[in-house]
Amino acid sequence: MRLWRSMLALCLLCLTPLGAQVTGRLTGRVVDTSGAGIPGVEVTLLLAGQSRPILTAVTTSDGLFSLSGVRPEIYDVMVEAKGFRKQKVRSVKIDPASEVSLPAIDLEVGAVTETVEVSASVQRVQTGNAEITTTITNEQLSKLPTLDRNPMLLVRTQVGVTNGRSATIMNGQRTSFSNVTLDGINIQDNYIRDTSLDFLPNLLLLDEVSEVTVATSNGSSAFGFGSSQVSFVTPSGTNSLHGAAYWSNRNYKTSANSWFNNQRGIDRPPLNENQIGGKIGGAILKNKLFFFSNYEALRLRQHTSVTRTILTDDARQGIFTYKDTSGAVRKPNVLQLAGQTADPTIQQLLQQVPGQAKMNNFTTGDSRPEFPRNTGGYTFLLRGNRTRDNMIGKVDYIQ
C-alpha cells in the first residue's frame, strides 16, 4: 500500500504547471557588422518549427539579452530590429538547470522583411557562470546499458561523482549537500539523506526520464538545498502520438555457480527477473495541451548466498572451548560456573537455529576445520523476491 501511495504522489507531482519544472536559461549578445552591441533588439523564443512565441526579451544598451525560466526543449530564436534583416537561429537546445550561451548574433543592415536563417552552434566553454554541469540526453539514457534500468547509475559516470565505501558523493561533499529533483520537486529521502544519491523513495526508471543535468560544483543558489544538483526531467507529449512497449528478462539458466558455493555444496542461486512496461504520449489539444504516461512492472524472484554465524553443539549447552597457554584444550561450562541453568526460552530458540552439522565454512567464527571451538559459518541461499509497480503521468499546457 505504501508503494502505491508513493507512486500516486509522484503522479500528482508531475501534473504541475510549467513554471514548477526545472528550467534553463538562454543568454547571448546581438551585434552589428562592426561588433558593436545593438540596443533595443527584440529577441523571441519559439518552439522549433512553430511560429508561436514562448518568451520575449529586449537587448540592453550593450546588446545583451537573457531569457530565464526556459523549459528544457529545442527552440528557434528570432531576432528583429528596425533597419536590420531578421535573423532566426534554429535548433537551440536548452538543458535543465543550466545556462546556454549563444555566440554573438550578427545583424546585417537591410529590409525588415528579409530573414537570415542560421543553425545554432552553442559555445562549449561556459563563460556566463562558474557552474560545472553535464547533461545526459534522452538518446544516452536509452542506449547506454544500465542495471535494473536505474538512471541514477548514469549519474555516477560523471566527472567528480564517486561511489565511495558507503555512499555516492560529489566532489568529496557530504551526501546531504546534494539535491535531487524531478521536474523541480525534491524526490530524496529527506529524513536521513545519508544515501541521498543512491536511494530515491520513488525509484525512477529510464522511461520516466527524458534527460538529466548534473551540476557537480557551484550550483546556482536559485535551486537551493545544496551546492551540487541532479535535475531529472520527465518526458512530454508532442503533437504526434508516440508509444512503446518493452519486456526484458534476466535469469540464471546459463550462469555458472561461484567457486565458493561449489566448495560448500550449495546450488546455483536461482534468479528470474522480468521488467515489462509501456509508455505513450501525444497531444490533447494541438500545440497547447500534451500528455505523457508510463507504467513499468518489476517481478524479481531470486536467492542469494548469505553467511551466518552459528554455535557449535558444545556452545549451545553453555560450554566454552579454548586452548590454554600450554596448548591444552579446555571446555568449562560457563553456566555451571556461574551457578545458572539454561533458559528454556533460549533453548527453544536455539532448536530453530541450524546446529554444528550445518557448518560449511570457517570464514566467520573462531572454529577451524581441524578444531571446532564455539562458532562457525553457515552459508545458505536466502530468498530475496521483489515486486514493484511504477506509474507516472504528466500533463503540459503551453499558454
- Predicted confidence at residue 138, as pLDDT, reads 77
Class of domain 2-119: mainly beta
List pLDDT tens digits, range 171-188.
888 888 888 888 888 888
Domain with CATH 2.60.40.10 in the chain: 2-119
Domain with CATH 2.170.130.10 in the chain: 132-233
pTM for the model stands at: 0.70
At 208, list the grid cell: 520516466
Check: CB of residue 76 under 8 Å from CB of residue 102: no
What are the distances in angstroms from CA 373 to CA 70, 312, 315, 319, 328? 69, 7, 8, 10, 13
- HSE-up (13 A, CA, CB side) for residue 17: 4
> Nearest to residue 64, comparing CAs of 79, 46, 54, 52?
79
Q: Is 239 helix (H, G, I), strand (E, B) or coil?
A: coil
How many Å is the Cα radius of gyration of the chain?
Answer: 31
What are the distances in angstroms from CA 187 to CA 151, 183, 224? 14, 10, 14
At 127, list the grid cell: 563563460
List pLDDT tens digits, range 122-147.
555 555 566 677 888 877 888 888 87
Phi, psi of 264 (to 5 degrees): -100, 5
> Nearest to residue 223, comparing CAs of 332, 106, 97, 313?
97
At 288, list the grid cell: 497547447
> Nearest to residue 252, comparing CAs of 238, 235, 268, 234?
268
Least confident of 10-14, 63-67, 235-239, 319-323: 10-14
List pLDDT tens digits, range 299-318.
999 999 999 999 999 999 99
Residue with cell 563563460: 127
- Predicted confidence at residue 21, as pLDDT, reads 57
Amino acid in the structure at residue 217: S
- Predicted confidence at residue 256, as pLDDT, reads 93
Q: How far apart are CA 176 and CA 195, in angstroms?
A: 8
Average pLDDT, the chain: 84
At 139, list the grid cell: 538518446
Burial class (CB in 10 A: 0-12, 13-18, 19+), 143: exposed
Amino acid in the structure at residue 74: I
CATH number, domain 132-233: 2.170.130.10
Least confident of 113-127, 189-203, 244-258: 113-127
